[in-house]
Homo-oligomer: A and B are copies of this chain.
Amino acid sequence: MARKPQQERSKATMQAIVEAGFISLQTHGLAQTTTRHIADIAGVGVGSLYEYFPNKEAVFKAMNAHLTTEIVAMVRALMPSLVRLDIRPMVIRLLGHFRELLNRNDGRYLKYAGFSMHAERSRQLEAIQQLLVELIMQYALHNPQLTRLRNLPVMSYIFIHGSVFTIIRHLSEPNPNISFEQLSEGLAEMIASYAEAELAKLDAAPPS
């Protein structure tokens, strides 16, 4: 029943269970990922799993939290350098790191992300969304002309969701007929050309 670990070993057990979740999902697939399997891989008894997680879903949530944490850390670390780049290289760099992270450990994270996006579980996704909104704000601060864009919230929403889902879907495809490089360049182009076009429009007919 969702106990809080008080000794060191129990923290290790918890961590082992979460990692076992990723491993089981990766090697056996969702259907075969039973509590018994997870516990076996983690090297603990089934009962132990229930000491720290109220149910199987909670294990998935913990996996989600783990992944979210890694993504947030990655973006935060990248942010200072991103804000100094032009839009296209900025987007391409960010997406490249995103891909690298998802592909770690033989795509362990990707496998999870691929079928996780959907579920209710994803209050977590909002954390990432907020972080990316923050990135856009920071970026705008370093590139003040962007602050003239009026519908930044809407377009941010579109760029963020459009990019994230498209990337995850693309990485999950067994044999996509376009390359990751083409895709990320396309996304960068889409975003940059929108911003440029909009700014040009403002210059032509200054806002009232």
Residues of A within 8 A of B (CB): 114-120, 151, 153-155, 157-158, 161-163, 165-166, 169-170, 177-178, 182-183, 185-187, 189-190, 193-194, 196-198
Copies of this chain present: 2
A198 touches B194 (CB 8 A): no
- In angstroms, Cα B147 to Cα A17, docked, is 53
A170 to B129, CA, bound (A): 13
Interface centre among A119, A158, A178, A182 (most CB of B within 10 A): A158
A197 contact set on B, CB distance < 8 A? 193-194, 196-197
Our pick among B118, B163, B193 for the contact of A117 (Cβ within 8 Å) is: B118
A182 touches B151 (CB 8 A): yes
Q: Which 9 A-B pairs have the closest CB atoms?
A: A162-B162, A165-B165, A193-B197, A161-B166, A118-B118, A154-B186, A115-B118, A154-B182, A197-B197
Shortest beta-carbon distance, A200 to chain B, in Å?
A: 9
Report chain B residues within 8 Å CB of A177: 153
What are 7 A-B pairs at a CB distance below 8 A? Answer: A116-B118, A154-B185, A154-B186, A155-B189, A158-B183, A158-B190, A162-B163
Complex: A197 Cα to B187 Cα, angstroms:
14
Which residue of chain B is the closest to A176 with respect to CB atoms?
A: B157
Cross-chain contact A161 with B158 (CB below 8 angstroms): no
Closest to A116 in B: B118
CA A118 – CA B111 in complex, angstroms? 11
